[in-house]
Chain A
Amino acid sequence: MKKSDFSKHDLSPAKGKVMSQNNSLRYALKFQGILWMSVILLMVVFALSLVMGQYRVPLEDTFRIVFSKIFTINRTWDNIQQAVVMDLRLPRTIAAVIIGAALALSGATYQSIFKNPMVSPDLLGVSSGACVGAASAILLYGSSIVIQICAFAGGLIAVAITLMIPRLIRNESTTVLVLSGIVISSLMSSIMSIIKFVADTDTQLAEITYWMMGSFAMTTFESMLPVLPTILIPMAVILLMRYRLNVLSLGDNEAKSLGINLRTTRGMFILCSTLITASSVCLSGTIGWVGLVIPHTARMIIGSDNKRMLPIAMIFGGIFMLVIDILCRTITAAELRLGILTGVIGAPFFIFILFRQRRQVQ
């Protein structure tokens, strides 16, 4: 049999090959273009985040203050301006970029492992577990570092229970794993309701709500440092292993037949995303929507290949989170909760994405 038998409708395969290779080149260029454009956009938003705020710091001074840490610059600003830029805006700006990127990355990871684009990083109960941990610590009047540790531990324990159930019932399929994730998540929300019921309405409840809605208001470099390793290292591991996500997203059997050790590879990804999500909850409370909406957006723009999609999703996540945080602290004098705005902006945006995808299919 001849090759042409298989491609009768293609009159000149040679020409088609050249064309397609041009196409591939265009794809690569498109990726480079989008990558650099989004990096530049991220830098612009980053700078904006340092400049914008309720307290006026002149544009020039803002950058002088930042660079005065590196170069010697004549001081033309007062202490309050210094504190506003260095102690208020800079830490939360950096935190927003890291958390946005982290949540987008772990969301995309979960979506690939579970072969379901509707999955968010809290599928296995990380966020709800972390909330229970944080809320319990608040209930027992723990200090902020204790609350952080409890949130982290709560997230890990919840996922550990979720992972244990499929083993106990000797069915390690993805479906059972997702199901036990749902069970543990709702169990955690029930515990959460109990804690909220017991909590002191005047003091503790407010703090618990803080955890549930997320905020960068309390972020300082000191609070950021302890969680950085548990965010950045797993992020690096996922980024390096990201090609395996493509293969995992094909399904258990296909991944296995392509030589992937399902248990260790999937386990590694789950461990890393869990660490990332638990650490971000530690730092800023639970923030919904980012892990769901951002990977979708990145996929819509650059395609599904995780090799390209993940870096783009991370940058988009950083930009999105920064924009949300800028809005949170500038719209009113009151500090708005991130969760409110990510929902208000994320949900309609998600509908828009679904609408566009539907049109593309048609």
Chain B
Amino acid sequence: MRNIKKSISLIIVFILIATMTAGCMKDNPVTTEPAKETNPEPVERIVTVTDMSGDTVTIKGEVKKIINLWPAGTSSFFVMGAGDLIAGLAVNNPGTMNSWTQLFYPDCVNIPALGGITPTIENIIKLEPDLVIIHPSTAKDGFAEKIREVGIPAININFSNYETMMQAYTILGEVLGGEYQEKLNHWCSAVETKLTKVRDLTKGISEADRPVVYYIAGQTDSLTTTMAANSIISDWAESAGGVYAPRLMELAASAEVTSEAVFKVNPDVIICGGVYQHIEKNALETKDGWKDLKAVTTGRVYTNPYACFNWDRFGLESQLQMNYALMCIQPEIASNNGITKESMINEIIDFYKKYTNYELSTTQAEYMLNGLRPDGKAEFPVE
């Protein structure tokens, strides 16, 4: 029975692909057909990897079209200059891609939108991907298995902190090969170096001398939405010599906390992330109660840079967060070790030159450092 079903679906798939290709060829007179003829590859590339859910996945041939259903992983492709590989995203409208992404890869607004994180298999087949990156939350539902059944490799590159990010990017590097593998491997060692350096610099500070750091997620205008005690935020905040406030609050999951809980810990440093960062910072300085917190009265409220994605969260740009966090949380140690605004601007320029092949101007890099868009405006400006 199963075999019959399989062969029927294979036939359907074949017909579909055939019609699709025919359609594409009509639409686009310059097809890849001649390219194939001029570039015949006798030996097919075969890679076998074990993905983050422990599945062994074999990928045959060059990976040139990827459907990425994991939003947290999306920015990585634009940052490593691999925007061309993306053939579909789990978004409703790629037109809402942020301005930094549009700067690095203007074509991002034309990427097919698949709506949700579980598009129909037919929709996936239609886009003829060489690889599908699933959303980690669908890994247990056998969604990857279903995609593999129609002959498309699917992998899970789930990450939730620096360690898992290094693992996941190593896997992705193996899958993509070539230039990208080189970049991703370079990234992993750079993160390791920077993380070790920052941790070494702050190793000797006693718990009592560490400033309490509160982080505002900034996806909405709420001042009380923060990330769990064991999140990646705590990873960089504590590595950079701080005490992550949700650890004191015993906050097990990312959530909205009570204002009183924040007042109780009375943080020394507040870092505002997300698109609302400038609004948050302004609110902290004007709202009763908040404006009397230690961090606000001592002027230690910081916005957090972002480009394709928030530095403070996941993605390749999180490499830049280590030094930035040190600058915010332990400014003295940072400046003693040559980490200053100027060095950060150079670090930003070097980073995007290396991975994205994009040369940022000093002004642009400075805007980025200040949590602004390439045009120097805030995503959500203070009214």
Contact = CB atoms under 8 A, between A and B. Distances in A.
| A touches B (Cβ under 8 A) | yes
Interface of A: 53-56, 78-80, 82-84, 86-88, 144, 197-198, 200-203, 206-207, 210, 215, 217-218, 329, 332-335
Interface stretch (B190-198, B259-267, B347-355): B259-267
Interface of B is mostly: loop
B249 interface: yes
A333 B220 contact: no
A333 B261 contact: yes
B256 interface: yes
B292 A78 contact: yes
Contacts of A80: 263, 266, 289, 292-293
A88 B289 contact: yes
Contacts of B115: 197-198
Contacts of B287: 83, 87
Interface in B277-300: 287-293
B258 A335 contact: yes
B222 A218 contact: yes
B224 A79 contact: no
Contact of A53 (B246, B258, B266, B291): B258
A335 B292 contact: no
B289 A334 contact: no
A88 B260 contact: yes
Interface of B: 71, 92, 115-117, 219-222, 224-225, 246, 249-251, 253, 255-261, 263-264, 266, 287-293
Contact of B288 (A83, A203, A217): A83
Contacts of B258: 53-54, 217, 329, 333-335
A335 B263 contact: no
Contacts of B288: 79, 82-83, 86-87
Contacts of B219: 202-203, 206
13 contacts: A54-B258, A55-B263, A78-B292, A80-B289, A80-B292, A83-B263, A83-B288, A83-B289, A84-B259, A201-B117, A217-B224, A334-B253, A334-B261
B256 A87 contact: no
A86 B293 CA distance: 16
Nearest to A218: B222
Contacts of A79: 288-289, 291-292
Nearest to A203: B219
A306 B361 CA distance: 74
Choose among B250, B253, B260 the residue with the greatest number of A CB atoms under 10 Å from its CB. Answer: B260
Contact of B257 (A78, A200, A333): A333
Contacts of A206: 219-220, 225
A53 B225 CA distance: 18
B249 A333 contact: yes
Nearest to A207: B220
Contacts of B116: 197
Contacts of A78: 292
Given A201-B71, A334-B255, A54 B261 contact: yes
Contacts of A210: 256
A336 B281 CA distance: 25
Given A80-B289, A203-B220, A335-B224, A217 B261 contact: no
- Return the 3 tightest CB-CB contacts between A and B, nearest first: A83-B289, A333-B249, A333-B261
B234 to A, nearest CB: 14
Given A83-B287, A88-B260, A332-B250, 11 more contacts: A54-B260, A54-B261, A54-B263, A54-B264, A197-B115, A202-B71, A203-B219, A333-B251, A334-B253, A334-B257, A335-B256
A289 to B, nearest CB: 21
Contacts of B224: 217, 335
B328 to A, nearest CB: 23
Nearest to A56: B264
B218 to A, nearest CB: 10
A78 B293 CA distance: 11
Pick from B71, B256, B292 the residue with the most CB of A within 10 Å.
B256
B251 to A, nearest CB: 5
A55 B290 CA distance: 13
A72 to B, nearest CB: 20
Contacts of A329: 258, 260
A80 B259 CA distance: 11
Contacts of B220: 203, 206-207
Nearest to A53: B260
B255 to A, nearest CB: 4
Nearest to B246: A333
Nearest to B219: A203
A202 B273 CA distance: 13
Nearest to A143: B221
A269 B291 CA distance: 46
A71 B242 CA distance: 43
B139 to A, nearest CB: 16
A83 to B, nearest CB: 3
Nearest to A210: B256
A98 B222 CA distance: 24
Given A198-B115, A218-B222, A333 B250 contact: yes
B260 A198 contact: no
A142 to B, nearest CB: 12
B17 to A, nearest CB: 28
Contacts of B260: 53-55, 84, 88, 329
Contacts of A84: 259-260, 263, 289
Given A79-B292, A83-B288, A83-B289, A334 B222 contact: no
